Amino acid sequence: MRKLIVGCALVLGAAFSPQPAFAIKEFGEAFGKKYVEASKSEDFKKLVTDAKCNVCHIDGENKKKRNPYGEALHDTGFDKDTLKPLLKSDPEKAKKEMDAIFAKVEELKAKGAEKTFGAKINAGELPGGDVKGKQPVGKLISFVSTAADEGFKSLFDGKSFSGWKVNENEKSWSIEDGAFVCQGERSHLFYVGDDKPFKNFHLKVEVKTMPNSNGGIYFHTKYQDANWPKHGFEVQVNNSYDKDPRRTSSLYAVKDVAEPAAKDNVWYTQEVIVQGKKVTLKVDGKTIVEYDEPAGTKPGKDFTRVIDEGTFALQCHDPGSRVYFRNIQVKRLD
């Protein structure tokens, strides 16, 4: 996977400072991962790369003046004096704050504009406006490999259901802006793109829930034509669904979590790590659940819930729930 590193394209807090602007690399990386990587578009990548700091700023005599997108990010809560120390003391909290700012600004739009900033990005446009013919400002933007993703394999191309198989209600699933979207009658989307079952692995999935939505991520499961998957475990996706107290990153009905580890309307990264008889569940890098399977554990009658091997599946729970899944990656550990 490639990650965007921005020289100064997102230095919002310093926009009117008399001091030279300096890079907050992590904010640029977050923009790159959230939007550029997800778009799977070389055209959009080039557009952002060529724009340099004009992603958020305006060129001309006052090169540090923010464009409408930069203003929106700044007004929504970006503050370099708070963010830079937080990135050092608590990087996961800083990441959540950046994600929350991006999510809020997606719903806003510039004065007189028809599209929201999010809609412009989804359409492959620069959110702050066209910079064609303008002199790019700032340092060069480049894409570099990320060590954290070395050895991982992408399971979803962001454009098709290749390698995946839907059971029951196919209409419950769609693809929007590089993400699987589920909303409709009960249905499960199984990964069938690899004949070799997954036993020990590290799975990463970016997830976003709408309010009062329920979903799930299964592992060590098997394809079945209907009903709730019998085999394997479910990692719960539920930040506010009021009919089930088991919250996001619960190892469903095995080791449950009472408080949500993420928020609605904000992308979070769910990690599932299985090594031997141990399961570790993380949200945005923070460990939420650690489960060591007791010796002699037997499969249940209705749901096995024993560490074994199998594939992955995503859950569409009900018509009232809307959940997004993207950037699905796995690394085998055996």
Question: Among all chains, which residue has been given the structure tokens 């928020």?
Answer: 263
Could you tell me where in the chain the CATH 2.60.120.560 domains are found? 153-332
Residues ≥6 apart with Cβ < 8 Å to 221: 190, 229, 231, 232, 233, 310, 311, 312, 313
Residues ≥6 apart with Cβ < 8 Å to 324: 176, 179, 180, 181, 207, 208, 209, 267
Mean pLDDT by 10 residues, the chain (334 residues): 36 29 58 77 76 71 71 80 79 82 90 89 85 51 41 92 96 94 98 97 96 98 97 97 96 96 93 98 96 96 96 98 96 95
| pLDDT at residue 59, as a whole number | 60
CB burial class (10 A; 0-12, 13-18, 19+) of residue 184?
Answer: buried
Burial state string for 54-79 with b = 16 or more CB within 10 A and e = fewer than 16: bbbbbbeeeebebbbbbbbbbeeebe
Beta bridge partners of 181: 174, 324
* 187 φ/ψ angles, rounded to the nearest 5 degrees: -165, 150
| pLDDT at residue 161, as a whole number | 97
Supply the Cα-derived Rg of the chain in whole angstroms: 21
Task: In whole angstroms, give the CA distance from residue 7 to residue 15.
Answer: 14
Cβ pair 169, 187 in contact under 8 A: yes
Question: Among all chains, which residue has been given the structure tokens 């990386």?
Answer: 29
| pLDDT at residue 134, as a whole number | 56
Q: Considering the domain 153-332, what is its CATH architecture? A: Sandwich (2.60)
In 10 A of CB 303, how many CB atoms? 17
Residues ≥6 apart with Cβ < 8 Å to 192: 163, 164, 165, 223, 311
Render pLDDT for 167-218 as a digit per residue (tens, 0 to 9): 999 999 999 988 999 999 999 999 999 999 999 999 999 999 999 999 999 9
